[in-house]
Amino acid sequence: MEETDSVASLMDSTSSKIQQLQKAFAELESHRAVTLNMKWKELEEHFHGLEKSLKRRFHELEDQEKEFENKTMKARELLEKKEAAVVAKEQASLERLQEKRDAAIFAIVNAREKHRKVLSEDLAEGSIEDVKDSHESGNVEVKSYPQLVKLCEEMNAGGLHKFISDNRKNLAAIREEIPHALRAAPNAALLVLDSLEGFYCMEASNQDGKKDANLLGLRRTCIMLMECLSILLSNSDCVSDVITENIRDKAKKIAEEWKPKLDALDLDASNGNSLEAHAFLQLLASFDIASDFNEEEFSRLIPMVSRRRQTADLCRCLGLSEKMPGVIEVLVNSGRQIDAVNLAFAFDLTEQFSPVSLLKSYLKDARKTSSVKSVNSSPTVQIEVNDRELIALKAVIKCVEEHKLEEQYPLDPLQKRVLQLEKAKADKKRVTEATKPQPKRPRANGIGYGPRVTNIPADKISYARVADRYPQYVYDRPYMYTGPNDNHCAPLMASATYNLSPNHGNYFGNGYQYQATYLH
């Protein structure tokens, strides 16, 4: 605007300039020695023509500028209206989604409550049948197992283990039934204690994979039964009738027998997923005997179960919330920053332990290790190095997404690096397979061997998928933490899924592995 005013003032001063020029021309003419060929009239007409041309162009530019400003204003108004419409639609969609979610939760809660009432009536009559329940979204069929109740009535711990193993495909439904079936037991707490008898009876063998898998399955079932007992206690009005002093003494005796076996456990031996440590802590929580043991001694077990989804609830139930800063420090110092981030969010310690800083540190350590090992390394070692970095990147990306840290830690560079490593991995694998010696083939007449075919295009060769060499951080569900627990704590098993093989068989050979729901 200032430039326009300046141009206008210059144009207004044109006339005065022409007059000055006229005076100068007249003075020049009075001193001339010869007659000038050019007359002043011609010069004056020329300058006036220029003046008119400039003014006309100036006014045209002013009109164009005003038109552009009007168009810009209209476009801005239209954009604001569209943005407001989009925000309104998003808000309406969120409200509808929330209404549907609330309706679904309400229907599920009603269905479960009806199922529990019917199941309680059947238990009182001594029989259990299949129950069909309905709610607003449709029909829900809930399976029940009379044999499960019968085993609890008979206090048959061994039969209970076998039944769970034989019905591993329906383990999610069985796990829902166990707390109700335990009500039929004359002494539910004693039944669960009896089920722990074989926890250390078998020694894991590296040569016998099946024996090792049997032990793992048995231990997971023991943990599940203790968690189901906690669910039963959380819904019971008379906890003291279930956990008597005699039961506490038996549980304490078992814990004292287990405790020396835990002393040999190394912090990183099970990578934060120790069944032995989890079972011990669950025993203390389920039978309310934590006060009989040194808090410092069993708090050191927390890093050994840091990857299991029940860890935060167990810590609260055992009164270890104040110990968590020290536990997180241990995890950070041992290179398990992702576990540290998860626990920092669980206990509102993110100001003391910055999640983004911890994740960057974890990735930096992984890359540093990779760079050291990649120097003068063989192709096989290089593949392993890339796999380590790839696993670390995926774990960080998963953690960032779960805790919604994208604004503080953008994922684009990490995802590009993942694609780069995966492409390099696929290329190296293709080259390695292509350079392998081809087996000799017999000639058509069966005499001798034919020439080796070496001109097959690399992209025409198919390869079997090779499993990753290193275990990844697995997060099958987001962190979900409840508030403070009472003395006997809230259910610690929400909706965990167990997949057991026959007789707790080989989980890695028959396709019935335990799901990663134990991991957070």
The reply to whether 161 falls in a domain is: yes
Count of residues in the chain: 520
Q: What is the per-residue pLDDT across 194-218, written as a single tens digit (0 to 9) for each? A: 999 989 875 544 444 455 788 888 9
Same domain, 339 and 263: yes
The answer to whether position 513 is within a domain reads: no
In a domain, 124, yes or no: no
Q: What is the mean pLDDT of residues 256-284?
A: 86
Question: Is 14 found in the same domain as 68?
Answer: yes
Tens digits of residue pLDDT in 317-360: 999 999 999 999 999 998 999 999 999 999 999 999 999 999 99
Residues 34 and 55 in one domain: yes
- Looking at the fold, whether 11 and 110 belong to one and the same domain comes out as yes
The answer to whether residues 392 and 316 belong to one domain is no
SS3 132: strand
pLDDT higher at 312 or 447: 312
- If one compares 151 and 124, the residue with the highest pLDDT of the two is 151
pLDDT tens column, 156-195 = 999 999 999 888 888 888 989 999 999 999 999 999 999 9
The verdict on 331 and 365 lying in the same domain is no
Using pLDDT thresholds of 50, 70 and 90, give the confidence band for residue 250: very high
Residue 1 and residue 109 in one domain = yes
277 against 207, higher pLDDT = 277
Please give the residue range of the domain that contains residue 171.
143-239
**Considering the domain boundaries, does residue 397 fall inside one?**
yes
Q: Tell me, what's the pLDDT at 39? A: 67
Do residues 323 and 362 both lie within one domain? no
Q: How far apart are CA 260 and CA 272, in angstroms?
A: 19
Q: What is the pLDDT of residue 479?
A: 38
At residue 131, the 3 state secondary structure works out as: strand
- Residue 482 one-letter amino acid: T
Per-position DSSP letters for 275-325, written without gaps between them: HHHHHHHHHHHHTT-GGGS-HHHHHTTGGGGTTBTTHHHHHHHTT-GGGHH
Domain termination site, one of 202, 217, 239: 239
In a domain, 454, yes or no: no
User: Considering only CA atoms, which of 302, 240, 313, 224 is closest in space to residue 265?
Assistant: 302
* pLDDT for the residue numbered 449: 46
The tokens for 289 are: 């005997």
Decide: 425 and 386 in contact? Cβ < 8 Å: yes
Question: Is residue 116 a contact partner of residue 133, using CB atoms and an 8 Å limit?
Answer: no
The predicted structure's pLDDT at residue 133: 41
Q: Report pLDDT for 203.
A: 55
Q: What is the pLDDT of residues 83-105, one digit of tens each?
A: 888 888 888 888 888 888 878 88
Measured in Å, how far apart are the chain's first and last C-alpha atoms?
63
Residues 217 and 253 in one domain: no
Long-range pairs, 64-72, Cβ under 8 A, ≥24: 65/4
The answer for residues whose C-beta is within 8 angstroms of residue 468's C-beta and 6 or more apart is: 387, 391
- Domain end, chosen from 404, 430, 456, is at 430
185 and 292 in one domain? no
For residue 364, tell me if it sits in a domain. yes
pLDDT at 331: 93
Q: Rounded distance, CA 8 to CA 211, Å?
A: 98
pLDDT higher at 281 or 514: 281
Examine the domain organization and report whether 153 and 250 are in the same domain: no
Helices marked H in 126-244 — which ranges? 146-153, 157-166, 171-182, 188-195, 209-234, 239-242
One domain, residues 257 and 337: yes
What is the pLDDT at residue 383?
Answer: 78
Q: Take residue 520 and report the two structure tokens written for it.
A: 């957070």
- pLDDT value at residue 505: 42
Region of poorest pLDDT, from 93-97, 275-279, 419-423: 93-97
Return the H-helix or E-strand segment holding 348: none
Is a pLDDT exceeding 70 seen at residue 223?
yes
Q: Angle 133-137-140 (CA atoms, 0-180°, nearest 5)?
A: 30
Tell whether 344 is covered by a domain.
yes
pLDDT value at 154 more than 90: yes
Distance separating alpha carbons of residues 329 and 335, to the nearest angstrom: 10
Q: b or e along 376-390 (b: 16 or more beta carbons within 10 Å of the residue's beta carbon)?
A: eeeeeebbbbbbbbb
DSSP-derived letter for residue 151 is H
Tell me whether residue 10 is in a domain: yes
Number of folded domains that form the chain: 4
Task: Give the model's pLDDT for residue 84.
Answer: 84
Question: Residue holding tokens 């069909």?
Answer: 132
Sign of CA dihedral 158, 159, 161, 162: positive
